Structures are given as structure tokens and as C-alpha cells.
């Protein structure tokens, strides 16, 4: 490769999902490149297969170098803070780190990979932006969509919506951005503000406003409904939002995408992607765009605007259009209060206290619970409850209210020949359904799966959930010693019949809490007494792109089923209880630290003894 020519450094950031479309983008750049320049193309990533790296690397030519840069080491320390939604990934934030990652460059191009280039990209790179932080092109949705226009001016604070730029095509002045402290300012803002509409684009617009060189729209033309566009003058097409020619027909300028797609090794794969794209998916994507504009309008109505009086009716109409009314705000506040309470309890070391205040528990009386479903009415109720529970489970999975990304270690259930107690961390009312899905995914699906629940859940809960709590093979704990004797006898019979019981040894439910907590003895004492193993299950979590009704991202679950812990025949019940409990905790701790790549630490403040105080 001839590196004596002027270098044109171009950066991309993506994951494996977008590799076929990156190939199209690169093909268009290479086909329109000039022999007068050396093009250095770098792909920043955290999750791309070796096979795809090799396939893309084959596109390199004498004057085009292609390099893949793994940024896992760099992003791990802040990845949980990077908010995403819909089709975005955390890779989209990588452009914000370029000034610090590449101190050898004064200026670079950053490009999204849902574009095709119709001219020599060196012409864009050689644009003189002087001391501007970035050279950028106006976001076209801010021109023709009133919701985005208002959002840009009132929430992001640009003087005119035409000054709200699209971050998918950027000429970045790294020298000025380093002096400006872009990365430090971004990480500061990240702690203070979440921009949920356009994410990294919003942060860039807020930080760079007043120091932007605006470049011709022809260098970032979207398939937007704007009249009188001379296609012969267009130099770069950006297939923004849901306007993807590889998903649907009738996308403006799609012929240019297919022109370059046909010249890649991914052409057949892209055709297959389009073929498998369903009408339901199309409807979902169109709905996401609609909700994006609604979200922009909602956030706009949350801030003042001194050019126009605020009217409650505007906010009311926006909330009604979102079908949320004021619950969106109230529920978010409720959840924030719960998180504050959890933080306080952790600091005090009170890990078994429930942070959510439940009504006084109605006690279970001896003989009240038919633990083993020996009565005909119990059998019928259980049959109905399990059927309703399955319908409910399918519904929350379909609505993406429960997101199960991975189930690891099913062989640890498959290989069991005895009954067992399954332990799980306790962080969400729906996590019991996640454990149920994991259990039913094993070869034990024909076995009965019992769940130990709180006394109050059995006696206090009204309506549909209460019916499930009382009848879906549940084993309620009881304050009454005689009622607890019935519970213990039922557990003995269930385990002797080689069935399975789920227990939560952390005891209390801490909403969305990711750390394992100190464990109670109950599950391990029962396993030791009945000479059955403990199967430690620990669920780790990541934020999804979907925002729930409470204003928080719905979590994606990664279910980890570990090797059974067996009682030691040479130890007493008490010794086995402690041994199994400690092993369970260590397993959970290791899963936590490996998944999140951080040590398990609590904020608990040690209380000084009287001697230390003196």
C-alpha cells in the first residue's frame, strides 16, 4: 500500500448485525475513491465475529486499508451508563471517544454504516472547517418534522432547528475537540442528563453548538419527503430511521444501495434479510418512528419556552397521545424512591428488608393451604391457574415485557436424577417467569415446578395475581409454627417424589438490584435435611432498547444455571447448611463479577463497636 499519499482517515462503529450493510458502504467508498489519496478505514467494535472481520478485510485495495479495532477494553468501565433504545447499540457512542483514542490525528471522518457514498469521500474530508469542533450536516427530520424541530430548539437549545446536525456523517476536528475536552464533558453530562431521543447525537449537538461548520446537505441526504432535490448533486445518501432499502420496497434512492450491494459478497444475505422481514416487523419499526416523534414532543413539553406561554393543554394532549397520562412521571418517581430506599438499606447492611412497603400480612392458619393439591378443588384450581399463567407468560414475552436473551447451563438441570431446590436472586416480580422458562427449557419440563412464596403474597393479593399466587403450584411460608410444619412435610414429600422447588434465599425482593446479597439458611437447611442438591441459578441483566411504563429500560435477562451443590454425607445438617450456602454465594459472586467485569462490593458502612468508639 502506498502511504506517501495524503491519508483520509475514516471511522465506523458497529456490531455484527450491521456487517452486511457496512460492506455496501465500503464498496461505495472504494468505487468512488481516487488514486491520489490513501484511505485508512477503521471499524470500531466490541462484538464482531472473526469470520465477518475476514470477509470485510478482503475489500482492501492498494490505496484502501481496512482495520478492525476492538474497544471492549475501553468501553467496559462505562458501558452500563450508555443509554440505548430501539435499533441503537452502545457502539454508536464510540465517535465521542475518538479525540482521546487517536491523538495522532488532527481531523477524521466519522460515518454511519447505513449510507452509500456517490462521490469521493476525500472531498468531504478536505473541507476547511477552520477551528470548528465539527463539520456537520443538518438533521433533515428537524426541517420537516415539527416535533423534532421543537425538541432541537427547546430541549437541546440550538438557536434554529437548521443548526441541529445529524451525527451519522461528521468531520471531526480532533485537535480542537481534545482542547475542548469532549470526552470529559460527555462523561460529566452522562452522569447528569439522559437524552433519550437521539442519544449521542443530542450530546454532540449540546456540546458543540456555536462551534459547528455546516456543510452542504448533499453530503448527508436522507430519503426524506423534501421536494426539488437534484439527485445528480447528491454525494452521500443516508438511510435514516426506518427507511432501510434492505428491509422494504419504495424507499427513495434505494437503487443506489442495491447498485453497490450487488458488488459485495453479502448480496445474497441482504436479499434474505429483506425476504424474511415481515409485515409485523415493518409495523413495529414504523411504530418506533412514531413513538420517537411522540417522545421528542413529550420532552419538549417538559421544559419552558420563553417565546411562547406554556399551556397545560399542550402537555395534556401530548400525554394522551402517548397513552400514558401522568402515570409515566408518577411511576418513575415511585421507582426512583424504591431505588433510593434500596441504596439506604444496602448502606445500612439490611439486605433482608423489603424496600417496598406491603400491607400487614394476614396469617395462614393450620390446614388452610392444600400444599400437595390433594383436594379435587385444589387440582382444578391449579390446572386453571397454570393454564392462565402460561397464557400470561406468552403475552408478556410477546409484548417484550419479559426479555430473555440467554439461558446458560441447562445441562446442569438435565443431568439431575433426584429432586432439587433451585435458588435464584430476587429482583423483579416477573423473574419467576424467567426461571420457569429456563426450567421448561430443560428435559425436566414434565416435572412439577413448585415456587416458595411469602405468606402475604398468598393471603393478601387480590385479583388475577392473587389467584396465581394461591394456585400455581405455590408453597407459601407461614408465621404459624403448626402451618410451617405442614409446609415442611409438603417439601419433604415433593423432594422425595423427585420434583423441584424454587426458593429465594435472599428473602426480600430488591427491584432491579444486580448484586447477589447475603443468603438465609432456609433453602440450604431443607436441601440438607432431605439429602437433595441445591441448583444455584443467577440472573444477570442488561438494559434493553425498550422503555417500560415506569420510564426505565426493560432489562434483558441472562439466566445462568450452575452445577448442583450436593450435601456431604460426612457433615451434619448444620454444617451442610453452612457449606452449601457459602458455595451458592461464591458461585453467584463469580457470575456477577465475570458478567459485569467489576468486583462485588457493597456500600455498607461498618458500625463501630463500643470499644472502637472509645
Task: Report how far apart, in Å, the C-alpha atoms of 412 and of each of 294, 378, 437, 565 are.
Answer: 46, 32, 15, 11
353, 520 in Cβ contact below 8 A?
no
As to burial, measured by CB atoms within 10 angstroms (0-12 exposed, 13-18 middle, 19+ buried), residue 131 is exposed
Closest CA relative to residue 315, chosen from 330, 331, 297: 297
Angstrom distance (rounded) from CA 115 to CA 113: 5
H/E stretch holding 275: helix 267-276
Strand partners, 502: 422, 451
Q: Is the pLDDT of residue 80 over 70?
A: no
The mean pLDDT of the chain is 87
Check whether 564 has a pLDDT greater than 50.
yes
To the question of pTM greater than 0.75 for the whole model, the response is no
Average pLDDT over residues 569-585: 96
User: Do residues 429 and 356 lie in contact, with contact meaning Cβ atoms separated by under 8 Å?
Assistant: no
Q: How far apart, in whole angstroms, are the C-alpha atoms of residue 512 and residue 113? A: 34
The x, y and z cell numbers of residue 246, run together, are 434492505
Residue 75 has pLDDT above 70, yes or no: no
At which residue does the C-alpha cell 419538549 appear? 300
Q: How many CB atoms lie within 10 A of CB 235?
A: 19
C-alpha cell at 128: 476547511
Is the pLDDT confidence value at 518 over 50? yes
Per the CB < 8 A criterion, the answer to whether 299 and 151 are in contact is yes
Q: What is the pLDDT of residues 313-369, one digit of tens each?
A: 444 454 444 444 334 444 467 777 888 899 999 999 999 899 987 767 788 899 999
Report the range out of 223-232, 382-391, 578-587 with the highest average pLDDT: 578-587
pLDDT at 44: 92
- Looking at residue 359, its pLDDT comes to 66
Distance of CA 201 to the CA centre of its chain: 19
Distance CA 200, CA 208 (A): 12
What's the average model confidence in pLDDT over 380-400? 87
Q: Which domains does the chain have, with CATH numbers?
A: 6-295 (3.90.550.10), 376-596 (3.40.1130.10)
DSSP letter assigned to residue 263: T
Nearest to 534 by CA among 407, 444, 424: 424
3-state SS of 428-486? Answer: CCCHHHHHHHHHHCCCCCCCCEEEEECHHHHHCCCHHHHHHHHHCCEEECCCCHHHHHH
Model confidence over 402-414: pLDDT tens digits?
A: 899 999 999 999 9
Compute the Cα dihedral for 139, 140, 142, 143 and give only its sign. positive
Tens of pLDDT, residue by residue over 234-293, are 999 999 988 999 999 989 999 999 999 999 999 999 999 999 999 889 888 888 888 888
Q: Which residues contact 449 (CB under 8 A, 6 or more apart)?
A: 436, 439, 440, 473, 499, 500, 502
Kindly report, residue by residue over 124-133, the tens digit of the pLDDT. Answer: 999 999 999 9
96 has a pLDDT exceeding 90: no
Q: What is the mean pLDDT of residues 537-547?
A: 88
**Confidence check: pLDDT of 608 > 70:** no
Owner of C-alpha cell 426505565: 552
Can you give the pLDDT at residue 79?
47
SS3 state of residue 406: strand
Amino acid at each position: 500500500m502506498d502511504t506517501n499519499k495524503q491519508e483520509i482517515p475514516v471511522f465506523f462503529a458497529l456490531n455484527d448485525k450491521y456487517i452486511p450493510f457496512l460492506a455496501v458502504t465500503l464498496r461505495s467508498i472504494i468505487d468512488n475513491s481516487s488514486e491520489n489519496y490513501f484511505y485508512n478505514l477503521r471499524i470500531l467494535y466490541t462484538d464482531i465475529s472473526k469470520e465477518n472481520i475476514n470477509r470485510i478485510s478482503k475489500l482492501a485495495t492498494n490505496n484502501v486499508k481496512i482495520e478492525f479495532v476492538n474497544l471492549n477494553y475501553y468501553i467496559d468501565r462505562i458501558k452500563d451508563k450508555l443509554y440505548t433504545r430501539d435499533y441503537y447499540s452502545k457502539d454508536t457512542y464510540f465517535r465521542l471517544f475518538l479525540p482521546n483514542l487517536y491523538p495522532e490525528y488532527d481531523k477524521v471522518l466519522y460515518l454511519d454504516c447505513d449510507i452509500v457514498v456517490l462521490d469521493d469521500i476525500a472531498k468531504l474530508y478536505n473541507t476547511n472547517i477552520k477551528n470548528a469542533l465539527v463539520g456537520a450536516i443538518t438533521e433533515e427530520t428537524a426541517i420537516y418534522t415539527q416535533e423534532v424541530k421543537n425538541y432541537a430548539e427547546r430541549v437541546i437549545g440550538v438557536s434554529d432547528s437548521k443548526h441541529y446536525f445529524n451525527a451519522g456523517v461528521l468531520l471531526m476536528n480532533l485537535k480542537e475537540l481534545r482542547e475542548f475536552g469532549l470526552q470529559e464533558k460527555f462523561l460529566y453530562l452522562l452522569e447528569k442528563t439522559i437524552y433519550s431521543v437521539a442519544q449521542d447525537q443530542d450530546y454532540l449537538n449540546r456540546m458543540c453548538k456555536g462551534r459547528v461548520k455546516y456543510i452542504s446537505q448533499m453530503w448527508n441526504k436522507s430519503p426524506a419527503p423534501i421536494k426539488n432535490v437534484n439527485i445528480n448533486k447528491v454525494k452521500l445518501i443516508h438511510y435514516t430511521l426506518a427507511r432501510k432499502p434492505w428491509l422494504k420496497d419504495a424507499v427513495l434512492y434505494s437503487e443506489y444501495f442495491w447498485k453497490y450491494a450487488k458488488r459485495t459478497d453479502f448480496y445474497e444475505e441482504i436479499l434474505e434479510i429483506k425476504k424474511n422481514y415481515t409485515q409485523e416487523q415493518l409495523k413495529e419499526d414504523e411504530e418506533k418512528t412514531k413513538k420517537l416523534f411522540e417522545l421528542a414532543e413529550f420532552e419538549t413539553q417538559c421544559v419552558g419556552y420563553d417565546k411562547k406561554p406554556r399551556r397545560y393543554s399542550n402537555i395534556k394532549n401530548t400525554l394522551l397521545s402517548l397513552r400514558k397520562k401522568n402515570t409515566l412521571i408518577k411511576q418513575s418517581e415511585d421507582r426512583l424512591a424504591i431505588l433510593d430506599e434500596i441504596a439506604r438499606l444496602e448502606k445500612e447492611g439490611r439486605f433482608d428488608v423489603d424496600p417496598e412497603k406491603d400491607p400487614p400480612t394476614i396469617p395462614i392458619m393450620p390446614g388452610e393451604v392444600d400444599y400437595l393439591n390433594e383436594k379435587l378443588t385444589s387440582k382444578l384450581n391449579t390446572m386453571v391457574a397454570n393454564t392462565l399463567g402460561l397464557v400470561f407468560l406468552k403475552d408478556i414475552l410477546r409484548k417484550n415485557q419479559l426479555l430473555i436473551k440467554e439461558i446458560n447451563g441447562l445441562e446442569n438441570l438435565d443431568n439431575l436424577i433426584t429432586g432439587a431446590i433451585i435458588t435464584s436472586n430476587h429482583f423483579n416480580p416477573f423473574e419467576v417467569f424467567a426461571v420457569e422458562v429456563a426450567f421448561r427449557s430443560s428435559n425436566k419440563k414434565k416435572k412439577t415446578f413448585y415456587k416458595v412464596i411469602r405468606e402475604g403474597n398468598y393471603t393478601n393479593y387480590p385479583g388475577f395475581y392473587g389467584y396465581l399466587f394461591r394456585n400455581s403450584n405455590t408453597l407459601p411460608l407461614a408465621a404459624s409454627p403448626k402451618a410451617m410444619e405442614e409446609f415442611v412435610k409438603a417439601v419433604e414429600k415433593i423432594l422425595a417424589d423427585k420434583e423441584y422447588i424454587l426458593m429465594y434465599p435472599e428473602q426480600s425482593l430488591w427491584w432491579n438490584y444486580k448484586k447477589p446479597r447475603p443468603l438465609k439458611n432456609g433453602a440450604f437447611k431443607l436441601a440438607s435435611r432431605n439429602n437433595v442438591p441445591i441448583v444455584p441459578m443467577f440472573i444477570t441483566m442488561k438494559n434493553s432498547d425498550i422503555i417500560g411504563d415506569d420510564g426505565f429500560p426493560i432489562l434483558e435477562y441472562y439466566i445462568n444455571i450452575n452445577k448442583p451443590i450436593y450435601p456431604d454425607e460426612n457433615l451434619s445438617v448444620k454444617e451442610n447448611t453452612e457449606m452449601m450456602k457459602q458455595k451458592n454465594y461464591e458461585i453467584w459472586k463469580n457470575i456477577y463479577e465475570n458478567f459485569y467485569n467489576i468486583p462485588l462490593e457493597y456500600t455498607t458502612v461498618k458500625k463501630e463497636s463500643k470499644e472502637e468508639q472509645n
